[in-house]
Structures are given as C-alpha cells and as structure tokens.
Amino acid sequence: MSRRIAPLPLRDGIAPSFLELPAGDWPDLLSFLIARFPHVPEAQWLDRLQRGALVDAAGTPFTLASAYRPYTRIWYYREVPAETPVPFDAPVLYRDEHLVVADKPHFLACIPAGRHLTETLLTRLRASLDLPDLAPVHRLDRETAGVMLFCASPAHRGSYQKLFAERRICKIYEAIAPHRADLALPRIHRSRLAERPENFTMHEVDGEPNSETRIVLLEHSGGWGRYRLEPATGKKHQLRAHLNALGIPIRDDPWYPQPLPDKGDDFSRPLQLLARSIAFTDPVSGEARRFESRRKLALVSG
C-alpha cells in the first residue's frame, strides 16, 4: 500500500507507518498490542488509544473498546523519545522535478529508523521542500557526510536506483587516516568481506573477492594522510573495512578497528569520511551529471 492512500498525511516530513494485523482470536485490539509488543509498557498503548493516535484505513481512531479485526491495518505515526537536534545543516546542491541532491552532514541519519525519526535527512528534506514522495536513491552511514541523491518522482525512482545496482555510477570518497610510508599507493584493494557474527562490523575472510576499492594518497602531514577512495563495489562498511585491513583505520571511526562506546550526543569527533562526488548519466534526461560536496576534511585535527 503506498503512502498516497494512507489515511494520515505527512506530518512535519514524517510519513505514517502501518501494522497489518495477522490471523488470530483476540478479545480486543488492546489485548493484541500488549501481547505482540511485550517491550512496550501497557500504559503507552492505553495512552495512544485514548488520544486517538491509532487509526483504521478510513482514518477513524481506534478506542479502548475496539475489536480485533485480522487482515486489516492500523495506521500511526512512530513515536520516539525526544531527539537531540543534529546541529549541522544539509544544503541542497541541486533540484529539479525528478532529482534532489543534498550535502549530508556527519551524524544525521539518512532515513527514519530506530531512535532517529525527526533528525534524519529524508525528514528534513520532505518538510523543507514540501516533497512528500521524496525517497533516497542510495544510503550513507549516519557517521558519513557528503553527496546523497533523492528521487522526487516515484515513477522514476527505479531508474535512478538501477544506476547503483548496475554500477553505472562513479563515486569518489575522501578519508583522513594514518599515513603509512611502507604502503604502496595508489593501489586497487580487493578482498572478501563478511559480517562478524558478534556484531554488524565487517572483516576480511578467505575466499573469492566480493569488494574492490581504488586507494590514492592525496597528501600527508603529521602522521596523517588524505586518501581518495573509489569503490567499484558497494559492500556494507567497505571503505572502513578496507582501510582498517590495511592498518590505516579512518580517523574517529567508532567501529574500526574495534567498537568504541556510543558517542551519544557528542558531535565533536565525526568520522573522517566524506562522499566527495557522484557522477553518472541521468537515466531520465540523458544528461551527464556530476555533483560535489562542499564540505572539507581537515588533514591535521585540532
């Protein structure tokens, strides 16, 4: 079911969510919600039903007395604890009827997920540009800054996403990492990356390579280097894992070479990784496109 037939409108850039009720015999809707979500305090469901915060497909609020009706949907807005505002802007680099290109700051999540709802780039852009159908074409980690593409036209979203799936796009990143005089550069680094079983970080394992990155040293000073990274593949955490495997983990990386305590609301030490530019042939207009971030990484910290 698309957002356009949802019974609730976009609210401050946030689209409504829905839950499809499965087959089952429950005395009422409240009983199902309490059993289905044991981690949510019962008082929260009582409050949301009393406020009319859960509605049916016609937009009619459910109540404490509402019956359980399998194979129907509950529509609602996600609610999360108060979010700390991310104190960095996300300027729009380009906009037309199909495409929006933004310069994402560090620490701003791409899309609503987990504890991030309002403080996401998608929510900000939907609200500020009044584009309820805006959707990301690709993703960047919350810690990574730089160029991100969004599609404002649902009919053309697949065409832009296909550019990434078919590797018909040139992505260039920059990173600040330790300088190793003994490391021969430029080089093309290929390896097989797999997720560690104990957490979601990636590491290199034996086997046929499934990832490839071209690495170039641009400059170095004070034991640090500025590197240009050109990924030919798009594995999760690929750039971070590749540089870590070479003994030059990216500066202020909270996960490599080992997971560090959660930074929380400390915005003072962003991961020194930047999506510098993206270039491609526009699948809608046929034009050659190239967009570059205006952000800078400092070679020497402090």
Tens digit of pLDDT for each residue in 93-108? 999 999 999 999 999 9
Residue 265 DSSP one-character state: T
Are 33 and 68 contacting, i.e. CB atoms less than 8 angstroms apart? Answer: no
Residue 156, Ramachandran bin (φ over 0: left; ψ between -120 and 50: alpha; else beta): alpha
- Average pLDDT, rounded, for the chain: 93
Q: What is the mean pLDDT of residues 180-195?
A: 97
Please name every residue paired with 136 in a beta bridge, in sequence order, or none if there are none: 150
Is the domain defined by 92-292 classed in CATH 2.40.50.100?
A: no
The Cα 67–Cα 89 span in angstroms is 46
> Model's pTM, two decimal places?
0.84
Polymer length in residues for the chain:
302
Strand ranges for the chain from DSSP E: 17-20, 73-76, 92-95, 99-104, 135-136, 145-151, 169-178, 187-195, 202-205, 211-221, 224-231, 273-281, 288-292
Please name every residue paired with 149 in a beta bridge, in sequence order, or none if there are none: 101
The Cα 231–Cα 228 span in angstroms is 10
Residue 3 DSSP one-character state: G
Which tens digit of pLDDT belongs to each residue from 105-149?
A: 999 999 988 778 889 999 999 999 999 899 999 999 999 999 999
Give 248: exposed, middle or buried? Use CB within 10 Å, 0-12, 13-18, 19+: buried
Q: Which two tokens stand for residue 1?
A: 């079911």
- Domain residue ranges in the chain: 17-76, 92-292
